[in-house]
Amino acid sequence: MKHILLFILLIIVLKTKAQQQDRPNILWIVSEDNSPLLGCYGDAFATTPNLDKFAKQGVLYKNAFATAPVCAPSRSTLITGMYPPSMGTEHMRSTYPAPDYVKFFPRYFREAGYYTTNNAKKDYNTVDQLEAWDESSAKATYKNRKPGQPFFAVFNLNVSHESGIHTSVPIEKLKHDPEKVKLPPYHPATPEMKHDWAQYYDKLEEMDRQAGALLKELEAEGLAENTIVFYYSDNGGILGRSKRFVYESGLRVPLIIRFPEKFSGLAPDAPGSVTDRIVTFNDFAPSVMSLAGLDIPTYMQGKAFLGKKEVKERAYAYGFRGRMDERTDLSRTVRDKQFRYIRNYMPHKIYAQHLEYLWKAPSMPSWEAEYKAGRLNADQKRFWEEKPAEELFDIATDPHNIHNLAADPKYKDVLQKLRKANHDWLIESKDVGFIPEGLLSKISETTPLRDYAESGKYALEKVIQTAEIASSREKSQLKELMKRLGDKDPVVRYWAVIGTIVLKNDAIAAKPKLQTLLNDPEVTVRIASAESLLAFGETDAPVETLSEALKSENQMARVQALNVLETIGAKAQPAFENVRALLKTDQQDSDYDVRAAKKILEVAENK
């Protein structure tokens, strides 16, 4: 009997080992902040021999997109398989909780016997889930797994991060010649701009070297023949108008996937092939689960583009922009294989809202100086002006997205199709990003925002409709906006007020109602009303309202108020005492209100 039990145990062990060997290891090499500026993507100025070689061994994706043009929200997508605006995790460096049923997907790999490691960045823009990883640190490696155990491992390469150009290296130390950089048409050829671009290409060369070292290590460990390797970037970037902006330069990323011969049956095509299939970060989690033979949770909004559970190719890639650090904004975008459509819901805010972190790159102050001196052409100065409500670009003829076709009658059908695709996705995904963040953060204290969206308490369709009316710039909509200023829903009231801000003096008839809204029970509505009244020439009451908001315990309400105060310069003087008070407080969370407060004082003092 004892021998029989030992025999059965041996069979189980051997079967388990065989199953493990039949399951692919999966390795992610993730670089930070780079568009497809690689030789294998046709960039002749780039020095990327390792990834160019890797592309010949794998499948190169021409149409791979981050959901957000910045790290934390896009990484939220990657780790959950969920679209961040549907969970409230769209705003930069927020920690609003995901619902209990949403698990960081490496946890499913662990439960299936995989060894999971992350080296080392997380930045998932929500409450962390430590149980997702066997190891997550600067020393994490798949080498610590048990013999024969399959692994899912992530290595993050941060050398190409935008901080890499904050300090300029001496020009004689650059490997790439600033005078030979081909600038995008929206960038002026200042010495600082050319230098930042050249230095960035140097960083990409080092990133390529590090990626090559990881690939060599995999081979040295004898694991290349059992491992499917992904290389991609977490978002586009890094110079102005790329990272943080919903253009190709911010959302399109490189993606190359190599399948070893053993798992060639899982590959979509032969080594060295190129595909134009549209894939987004939403699809990464279900796709790697499909490759590993795992069940894909039904709550995931992404769809597998690889493995046995591969589905039909998606028609659109959706993207978004929410608050970026200390600046509020809201845009949504849809991309098919030829066109990119962008809807700007706060068109009154210029593209180039001052961001302390972005302005650390020498190229940004140089670009701003050229604008103030009046030395920019139309394509270069547009970044410093208000946005249109809608943008439409033909990627095939306009890869830099500078020729807006939204008003061109020849593209009316395309515009309407993509406008509808955007609207339908907002409804389908239950986009909670239209709730002003001051209110959003308050809701999240008691209810995960995805749960709130599904509870029936969120008047989604009316909110979206109001936001579309508000951002349209159509004077004919003023009557409807005024009606909605009295709506029982504070989110509808908020967007109706935004509509009056967008219309400026054309909304003067709404002034009496806006004055009453300075006493609205919802602070975000009060702040927006103050902003609108300031545009009508009112000062005392709006500034008092904004100053009072700076004493709120709600940080996002403070940030909203500070964004408005900065626009009026010295007229904000009565609020300066409360502005300065923010600089003296010990921050228990992010410092975005402090950053905005510093800028207000700088603007007022003409620094």
Q: Is the pLDDT of residue 1 over 80?
A: no
Q: For residue range 233-290, what is the model confidence (pLDDT) as tens digits?
A: 999 999 999 999 999 999 999 999 999 999 999 999 999 999 999 999 999 999 999 9
Where in the sequence of the chain do the CATH 3.40.720.10 domains occur?
2-315
Of 37, 46, 66, 71, which one is the catalytic site residue?
71
Residue 309: partners with Cβ closer than 8 Å, 6 or more residues away: 286, 289, 290, 296
Q: For residue range 303-315, what is the model confidence (pLDDT) as tens digits?
A: 999 999 999 999 9
Q: For residue range 343-375, what is the model confidence (pLDDT) as tens digits?
A: 999 999 999 999 999 999 999 999 999 999 999
Confidence grade of residue 20 (pLDDT, cut at 50, 70, 90): very low
pLDDT of residue 13: 43
- 40: annotated active-site residue: no
Hey, CA dihedral for 300, 286, 322, 552, is it positive or negative? positive
Higher pLDDT, 349 or 22: 349
Q: pTM of the entire structure? A: 0.95
pLDDT of residue 560: 98
pLDDT of residue 18: 43
Q: Which CATH class is domain 438-460+474-604?
A: mainly alpha
DSSP helix/strand/coil, 350:
strand
DSSP at 156: E
Separation between Cα atoms, residue 317 and residue 351, nearest integer Å: 22
Confidence grade of residue 586 (pLDDT, cut at 50, 70, 90): low
Confidence grade of residue 603 (pLDDT, cut at 50, 70, 90): confident
pLDDT of residue 605: 76
Q: Which CATH class is domain 2-315?
A: alpha beta
Where in the sequence of the chain do the CATH 1.25.10.10 domains occur?
438-460+474-604
Separation between Cα atoms, residue 349 and residue 329, nearest integer Å: 7
Residue 229: partners with Cβ closer than 8 Å, 6 or more residues away: 26, 27, 28, 29, 54, 58, 215, 218, 257, 258
pLDDT of residue 65: 98
Helical (H) or strand (E) element with 194: helix 191-220
DSSP helix/strand/coil, 590:
coil
Q: Is the pLDDT of residue 589 over 70?
A: no
